[in-house]
Amino acid sequence: MTFSPASFFGALRAGKLLGPTLDQGEVDGCNAILAACSGLPLSWAAYAFATAFHETAFTMQPIKEYGGPRYFTKMYDIAGDRPTLAKANGNVHPGDGAKFFGRGYVQLTWRSNYRRAGQRLGIDLESNPDLALKPEYAAKIMREGMTGGWFTGKSFGHCLPGAGSAAKVDFIAARKIINGTDKAEKIAEYALHFQQALQAGGWA
């Protein structure tokens, strides 16, 4: 069965999350995630959508981490409050904290992670970290990171079925891929809605 984006978007508009209308940014973000998640199992794609929906404050557009240079220096720089952690993650130069803060759908941080993601995608994210704000790249980073367990060591395969639909309890467990248990139940509800929309579109 061929996937129908029109049926997918129709289900979203009829649902409670993004309906009854979607602005262009929401459509563009969803299309980027659809493209990046092509070939993934249903529940994996649904949880990627739910994660993006939550992490971007429901805009479906990649965002910058909240804060500013002073905060980013404190959190991520060798001159900040966590120099050992900074060095362990590749932020070895003064100013790296203000450069390699969180961006995207899943808040990619640290020089080493920008380098790894860039190598995986074939782009120079280390020199151009703002590329992680482009939906097509942000969506691919999200897929690669959640599939490969980049963020917490947990991946899709640890938490969600490799075929068929997932239950709410599965989606609650999947929050460990990104951020422990923070807002796990709420994001699981989002994932159930996206799973239904993907099913409506014929996602295999």
| Sequential pLDDT tens for the chain (204 residues) | 699 999 999 999 998 788 788 999 999 999 999 999 999 999 999 999 999 999 999 999 999 999 999 999 999 999 999 999 999 999 999 999 999 999 999 999 999 999 999 999 999 999 999 999 999 999 999 999 999 999 999 999 999 999 999 999 999 999 999 988 889 999 999 999 999 999 999 998
Query: Under 8 Å CB-to-CB from 68, ≥6 apart: which residues?
Result: none
**Cβ atoms of 135 and 160 closer than 8 Å:** no
| Distance (Å, whole) CA 66 – CA 80 | 17
List the one residue out of 198, 160, 189 whose CA is nearest residue 176.
160
| Distance (Å, whole) CA 32 – CA 138 | 8
Query: Among all chains, which residue has been given the structure tokens 């994996």?
Result: 44
| Distance (Å, whole) CA 160 – CA 172 | 10
C-alpha dist (Å) from residue 126 to 26, 47, 143, 191: 27, 27, 19, 31
List the one residue out of 134, 139, 144 whose CA is nearest residue 113.
144
Query: Under 8 Å CB-to-CB from 85, ≥6 apart: which residues?
Result: none
Three-state SS at 117: helix
- pLDDT for the residue 136: 96
- pLDDT for the residue 1: 66
C-alpha dist (Å) from residue 5 to 2, 59, 60, 143, 196: 10, 19, 16, 19, 13
- pLDDT for the residue 181: 86
| Distance (Å, whole) CA 134 – CA 149 | 22
